[in-house]
Structures are given as structure tokens and as C-alpha cells.
């Protein structure tokens, strides 16, 4: 394993993050505050509690998930798309590094950025509502795995995209609707029975449910199923990336 190369890629990506640290810090704080004002105060005043948890606190895991999923995708997709766009990808492809080392470097950095943003949102949420974390280790594990898997997914999108429009296509048209419809701001049990069945086909439901369980001990689907879903998604993404580097798809031809 070429650890020096992994660190070089990781460091370079984190340097880019450091250049925009203020933006990276302020944006999630602002958006979280807005969500609390709109959802927590305006809507929350009409919803007393959800399964014994105040609505303001109930939406915190969903808010964190929404941000780390979208940030994981955008950070990782941009990280590999930008070198392709400006041509510097030649250096990565001509270096004595394996696909796994390249992936660890880029995806590791993107996941770190998402974790940072998740932590900022959690800290901001503390200013608005009281939050209890029933299973802190599970919370960290769910958050880490989600950051990792969605960064892997973003990495695939970044390799696949041929232009900026394609780079935005899947996050905007697929991921954001799935997250909003995945129980970020409501419990699946609040839906009519037919929609409860439909929503179980949304993979994001399993991630948000497991994450919310780590906070309040409440889950829409069994926690084991949530872990299985996230592990399966991670493995699927890793498999696709392995195939991309083996065939050179959109990289070496």
C-alpha cells in the first residue's frame, strides 16, 4: 500500500477545503438555522411531538443526514471531476498508485469534510433544541459510514460526468428527492399505510432510520436492516469503482 501517495492526495484535498473553510463552516450553520426557523418553529409549533420526541429535536438526525449525503456526493464528485476538467488527472493516472489508493485519498478527504459539516450541524442544532444521543458510538458509526458511502457514490458520479450539468444531474434529480422523501423531516409511521410500503423502496429511509435510532432509540425499520443497507451500498460503490479502474472507463480512454 502506497501510504505516502494516499496522504499526498488526502492532504491536497484538505488544503482545498482549508482555503474555503469559512464558506464550509458558515453555509451549514446558516442552512441549519434556517431549517430550524422554518421547520422547527413554524411547522414544529403545529406538531407537538413525534413518538415522544419534540419535533425540533426529531428533525436533527434527518438534517444532518441531508447535509452529509449531499456534501459527501458534491465533495467527492468535484474532487475527481475537477482534475478531469482542468487536465491534471494525467498525473494521478500516471502515478504508481492503485485504484484503491486513489479512492482512499479522494473519498477519505471528501468523507472527512462531510463529517466536519455533520459535526457543525450537530453543534448548531444544540443551540436551538435539547438533543439526547442514546447510542453515541452507533451515531458516530452511522455518520461515518454514511459519509463514506455517499462520498464513494459521489466519486463514481465525478468519474462518469462529462460536464458540469451531468455532475449535478444525479444529486439534484435523484439524491435530493430521495433524501426529502426518506423521512428526514417526518416519521414513516406518519404516512398513509400505502405510502409506508412505497417508501420502504427508498434506500435513504434505512439510513435516516438507523441514524435517528442512535439519537432517540426510535426507528422506522430494524437497525440491523439499516446497517445492512449502508454496508451493501458501500460495497456496491466500491465494486463499481474497482470496475471503473480495471476497465479505464471514462478515465484511460
Please report, as ranges, the residues that interact with another protein according to CB under 8 A.
2, 4-5, 7-9, 11-12, 15-16, 19, 86-88, 90-97, 248, 252-253
Q: For residue 189, what is the DSSP state?
A: G
Cβ of residue 173: shortest distance to another protein, in angstroms?
Answer: 28
Nearer to another protein, 31 or 98 (CB): 98
Closest CB to another protein among 96 and 192? 96
Q: Which of 6, 21, 29, 52 is nearest to 189 (CA)?
A: 52
Q: Which residue, 82 or 128, has its beta carbon nearer to another protein?
A: 82
Compare residues 78 and 215 and give the one whose CB is closer to another protein: 78
Distances (CA, A) of 241 to 42, 47, 146, 213: 43, 43, 17, 31
Tell me how crowded residue 190 is: count the other CB atoms within 10 A of its CB.
Answer: 14
Residues whose CB falls within 8 Å of the CB of residue 171, separated by 6 or more in sequence, listed in order: 70, 73, 74, 77, 154, 157
- Complex with another protein: residue 69 or 104, whichever CB lies closer: 104
Distance in Å, CB of 29 to another protein, minimum: 24
Beta carbon of residue 181, minimum distance to another protein (angstroms, whole number): 37
Contact 159, 83 (CB under 8 A): no
CB 161, min distance to another protein, A:
18
Least CB distance to another protein at residue 105 (A): 9
36 and 128 Cβ atoms separated by less than 8 Å: yes
Which of 181, 52, 53, 33 is closest to 121 using CA atoms? 33
Amino acid at each position: 500500500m502506497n501510504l505516502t501517495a494516499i496522504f499526498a492526495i488526502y492532504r491536497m484535498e484538505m488544503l482545498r477545503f482549508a482555503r474555503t473553510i469559512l464558506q464550509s463552516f458558515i453555509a451549514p450553520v446558516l442552512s441549519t438555522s434556517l431549517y430550524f426557523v422554518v421547520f422547527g418553529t413554524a411547522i414544529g409549533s403545529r406538531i407537538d411531538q413525534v413518538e415522544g420526541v419534540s419535533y425540533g429535536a426529531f428533525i436533527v438526525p434527518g438534517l444532518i443526514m441531508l447535509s452529509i449525503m449531499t456534501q459527501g456526493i458534491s465533495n467527492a464528485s468535484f474532487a475527481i471531476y475537477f482534475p478531469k476538467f482542468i487536465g491534471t488527472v494525467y498525473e494521478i493516472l500516471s502515478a504508481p498508485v492503485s485504484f484503491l489508493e486513489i479512492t482512499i485519498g479522494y473519498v477519505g478527504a471528501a468523507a472527512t469534510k462531510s463529517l466536519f459539516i455533520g459535526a457543525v450541524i450537530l453543534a448548531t442544532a444544540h443551540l436551538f433544541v435539547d438533543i439526547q444521543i442514546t447510542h453515541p458510538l452507533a451515531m458516530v458509526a452511522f455518520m461515518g459510514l454514511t459519509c463514506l458511502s455517499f462520498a464513494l457514490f459521489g466519486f463514481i458520479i465525478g468519474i462518469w460526468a462529462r460536464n458540469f450539468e451531468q455532475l449535478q444531474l444525479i444529486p439534484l434529480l435523484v439524491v435530493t428527492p430521495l433524501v426529502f422523501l426518506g423521512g428526514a423531516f417526518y416519521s414513516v409511521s406518519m404516512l398513509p399505510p400505502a405510502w409506508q410500503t412505497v417508501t420502504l423502496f427508498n434506500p435513504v429511509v434505512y439510513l435516516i432510520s438507523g441514524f435517528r435510532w442512535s439519537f432517540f432509540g426510535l426507528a422506522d425499520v430494524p437497525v440491523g436492516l439499516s446497517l445492512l443497507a449502508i454496508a451493501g451500498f458501500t460495497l456496491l460503490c466500491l465494486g463499481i469503482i474497482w470496475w471503473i479502474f480495471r476497465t479505464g472507463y471514462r478515465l484511460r480512454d
